[in-house]
Structure 1
Amino acid sequence: MNRISFALILLGLAPFLLSCGSKPNPRTLVMIIESSPTNLDPRVGIDASSERIHELIFDDLLERDEHLNVRPALAERWDIPDRLTYIFHLHHGVKFHDGGPLTARDVKWTFDSMLQGKIRSTKTAAYRFVDRVEARDDYTVVFHLKEPFATLLWNLSDGAMGIVPYGSGDEISRQPIGSGPFRFISAEPDKEVIIERNSDYWGEKARLERVRFMVVPDTTTRALELRKGSADIVNNALTSDLVLALEREPNLEVLHGPGTVLNYLAFNLRDPILKDVRVRRAIAFAINRQPMIEYLWRGFAQPAASVLPRQSWAYNAEVPGYDYDPQRARQILDTAGYRAVGGVRFHLTMKTSTEETTRLIAAVLQQQLREVGIALDIRTFEFATFFSDVTSGAYQLYSLRWIGGNEDPDIFEYAFHSAKFPPHGANRSYYSNSRIDALIDQARSELDQNARKQLYAEIQQILADELPYVNLWYLDNMLVHSKRVQGLTLNPSGNYDFLKTAELAP
């Protein structure tokens, strides 16, 4: 029995498994999410549910376009008189959901509360180069930097830091008050979050009256809720097989398009075998992505050649890839002196979590590497143990995903700069290259975007040659919705911006 047939059988059990379900309110869109947001304070919450919901409740100074460039939002324009000074001019007439005006004092408080330790947040590190924030007048905010930091604009956009009212403390996590297109109504952990349209919104008003985010941890149950009409939308929270099965339902539609989530394979460069770049290149040539994309993702993924997504303004399309070529992999290993004995050149161990897809990836890699004489052993652990081993360097190979973090080219510093070995960053491969370090440092302080793009292009060329990672594929965004929902458009980042334009058919 194939996986799609099994998915159809599960969906056929819907009347028996979910016979007590109720139809959604005709004026309320019901969207299923995998887990409750941990904290809706935009200064604190970093899990996907928190960030995507608080983006609807709070406004940022800037937003991002389809190429991940920043553009005006709360700040209608900005000036950079020198490399250490950013001046933002706010829209007039913006109000918080409690009716209070949003001014420069609120912006200053939002950042001061983190930088001065009034609010404890891991996001504080993103603003480590901010010296102070000045409210020059009600509608002018000035950021003074300690050193040039071109990524500042990105860190002020779309979900990075929504503006909270002056004086807001921990209580805002329980009763969020923002200025966004939706206002917070209620939340019950592990059950739901409810938001309503902000009729006084300063920008384009939402068409939906109310949105209920329904927490459903189980993947099959999410599909069943959609099928029986108890929910309207599931976004990137179903298996590919279930999406294909639901595509056959007469009352449902499927939207899918290119996304930015990256699956990658990482090497520990401190390992005596994997520190040899020839071994890493041979492994890259030995990997055949296409059957994995077809089998694991049913075609809902695209091969990747860079950590950056293709939509990024800094993406280098000229970077050479490693097309499947097992014969070349064998030649490289032979030349490097790794001759096969009894069909095996050497053993490697790949650690994985218990998550099904990761284990399947490892199993396919095991088979493909065997074809070139590499014996891959697989060790599976609960995620906490697995991730602890990864961050402490107790591994040879592992596979994870970048979700959102790879949309800004600052990812190169976080993941590949030699100053960012754990616990100071995510250079978990222990990759070190003085040229890469210099390029990253230069790009961070370069304000001209064209010049930055050239620096990032060279970084991508070097990384493709030296291979601390093998970039596997970008996952497509997949949104399944009831036909009563109209006006939906997918965002490459997979956030919930589509709720700002969606509407319910009468």
Structure 2
Amino acid sequence: MMIESSPNNLDLRVGTDAQSERIGGLVFDALVKKDEHYDLQPWLATSWEQPDPLTWIFHLRDGVQFHDGRALSADDVVWTIESLIDPAHGNLITSKSGNFASVTSAEARDRLTVVVHLKHADAGLLFNMSDGLFGVVPNGSGRDFGLHPIGTGPFRFISGVQDKEVLVERNPGYWAGEPKIERVRFAVVPDAITTALELQKGSGDLESNAITLDMVHALRNERNLATETGPSSVVVYMNFNVQDPILRDRRVRQAIACAIDRQAIVDAIWRGKARLANSLLPPEHWARAADSEMASYPHDIDRAQRLLGDAGFPARKDGIRLHLTLKTSTDETTRLMAAILQQQVRSAGIDLQIRSAEFGTFYSDVTKGVFQIYALRWIGSNEDPDIFRYAYGSASFPPKGGNRGRYSNPRLDALLQDAAGSSDQSERRKDYVEIQQILAEDLPGIPLWYPDNEVIHSQRVDGIKPIGAGDFDYLRSASLRTPH
């Protein structure tokens, strides 16, 4: 299988990039697992209850083993949680600690029972213990655990070479059923054209959303290949550094939104295979505000120019009003998108410079706040409304969360706290609708679109069914056809 970049850290307590969460999701098991409607189902935890708003009790599955033969117990779950909330446990520094900020402590009541104590009610905690976001590690696992991860998942880690490959093989004793595929090599192929050629030649078996839609279209007639398509929960977005002297004024951010013709980009790059996004939440989500409830920014160059003029940026003789820089990875689709954005916003008088870097360097800059604007995707974590706390809450500045643009709004923080403390879904929805209305007005970032899942695979691979977040979960049940 060909992937665009190396995972940053296969320890799911630390890794937040797509490759870490997708490959890590095969090596580790979570306490609960999302179904196709984003409802949470039993996994390593067979059941759970809340005797009061500040206490969760989890009952673990018996007979589960780590890849090294150790039996899973409550002590392992307790260590995993405690290491996320207390640096003394494993000396771990991770942005995911913010997901567990409500947790005071975890304790093992007996071998298979875990009790989690909270400082305050947190309705989003269970989602943060789900697949891709959370993986139970053995008791005592420290900060270098990601170099040689040991989980309970369907595949066990064999080796990894930065910028080259990650090798996993099936876990023959997997409690949920042994995978049919014996071994998977995740080959790092940053260049989309090379990925397409490897598929065409038959030297690569599988790619997931790693090549442009033009290439997908071109490969449809290859007899040795098949394409699987489905709607996606992944959202492509742009984010602003709101501490920046130019971007501090929301009228500038709104002007950029007006200058972008999103549908034209979807038609040009995605061949229409994407849905426009006005929120980070997927369209089907229970907490998503309706488009009619939020401020919108249809393509309107005149409005963009008025907003920039009002913000104190008159047009010079050459028509340019201001200069900005957009940082992206070297991903081919993202670079194409950036090139079109550059042309579109120039019509409003914005000179947009593009700075592309390989993913590790780009992501490092993003988390350090070394950017004016960047483009990325939320993958999986936007299937829970807690994404708004993680991405835009005042307490979520890195390394404690993903609020990389340093946006802060007291009303938004109060609504987030209220929503997290309520178990009434209709009340939570009211809070989240207002949160989305504030974000649509302030525009610390621009949700762009939800691209369809496009997976191309060789005909010798069977059972590939892509789902919402674009994860690699189908490798659990996929098989290889016997050659005739």
TM-score range, shorter chain: 0.7 to 0.9
Give 1:443's aligned residue. 419
Aligned to 2:231, the other structure's residue is in SS state strand
Change in 2 beyond 3 A, CA 1:178/1:338: closer
Q: Which amino acid aligns with 1:502?
A: A
Equivalent runs, 1:85-104 vs 2, <5 Å: 85-104=55-74
Matched, 1:67 2:42: no
After TM superposition, give the deviation of residue 341 of structure 1 in Å. Answer: 6.4
- Asked if 1 retains the 8 angstrom alpha-carbon contact of 2:92 and 2:142, the reply is no
Task: Give the length in aligned residue pairs.
Answer: 475
Equivalent runs, 1:17-416 vs 2, <5 Å: 31-114=1-84, 115=86, 116-122=88-94, 123-169=96-142, 173=146, 175-187=148-160, 190-270=163-243, 274-318=247-291, 319-320=293-294, 321-329=296-304, 342=317, 344=319, 346-353=321-328, 355=330, 357-358=333-334, 360-372=336-348, 374-378=349-353, 380=355, 382=357, 397-416=373-392
After TM superposition, give the deviation of residue 113 of structure 1 in Å. Answer: 4.4
After TM superposition, give the deviation of residue 429 of structure 1 in Å. Answer: 4.2
Change in 2 beyond 3 A, CA 1:93/1:284: same
Aligned to 1:259, the other structure's residue is in SS state coil
For residues 391-437 of structure 1, give each alpha carbon's deviation from its aligned partner in whole angstroms, at most 9, with x where no partner exists.
67676544343344433322222332344456655444444432212
Q: Which amino acid aligns with 1:260?
A: S
In structure 2, distance between residues paired with 1:366 and 1:183: 43
Give 1:6's aligned residue. none
Give 1:477's aligned residue. 453
- Asked if 2 retains the 8 angstrom alpha-carbon contact of 1:351 and 1:386, the reply is no
Q: Which amino acid aligns with 1:317?
A: A
Aligned to 2:440, the other structure's residue is in SS state helix
Structure 1: gaps spanning 5 or more residues:
1-30
After TM superposition, give the deviation of residue 316 of structure 1 in Å. Answer: 2.0
For residues 152-209 of structure 1, give each alpha carbon's deviation from its aligned partner in whole angstroms, at most 9, with x where no partner exists.
2122110222223334456854554332223344555555444333343322443333
- Asked if 2 retains the 8 angstrom alpha-carbon contact of 1:83 and 1:148, the reply is yes
Give 1:505's aligned residue. 481
Change in 2 beyond 3 A, CA 1:385/1:450: same
Structure 1 stretch displaced more, 103-112 or 53-62: 103-112
In structure 1, distance between residues paired with 2:431 and 2:462: 42
Identity of aligned residues (%): 51
After TM superposition, give the deviation of residue 481 of structure 1 in Å. Answer: 0.2
For residues 461-504 of structure 1, give each alpha carbon's deviation from its aligned partner in whole angstroms, at most 9, with x where no partner exists.
22112322222222332211011222211121111101112122
Structure 1 stretch displaced more, 495-504 or 251-260: 251-260
Change in 2 beyond 3 A, CA 1:336/1:197: closer
Structure 2: gaps spanning 5 or more residues:
none
- Asked if 1 retains the 8 angstrom alpha-carbon contact of 2:45 and 2:61, the reply is yes
In structure 1, distance between residues paired with 2:239 and 2:230: 26
Change in 2 beyond 3 A, CA 1:206/1:381: closer
- Asked if 2 retains the 8 angstrom alpha-carbon contact of 1:348 and 1:396, the reply is no
Change in 2 beyond 3 A, CA 1:106/1:302: same
In structure 2, distance between residues paired with 1:41 and 1:280: 36
TM-score normalised by the chain length of structure 2: 0.85
In structure 1, distance between residues paired with 2:366 and 2:144: 35
Q: CA RMSD in A?
A: 3.3
Give 1:489's aligned residue. 465
Structure 1 stretch displaced more, 341-350 or 441-450: 341-350
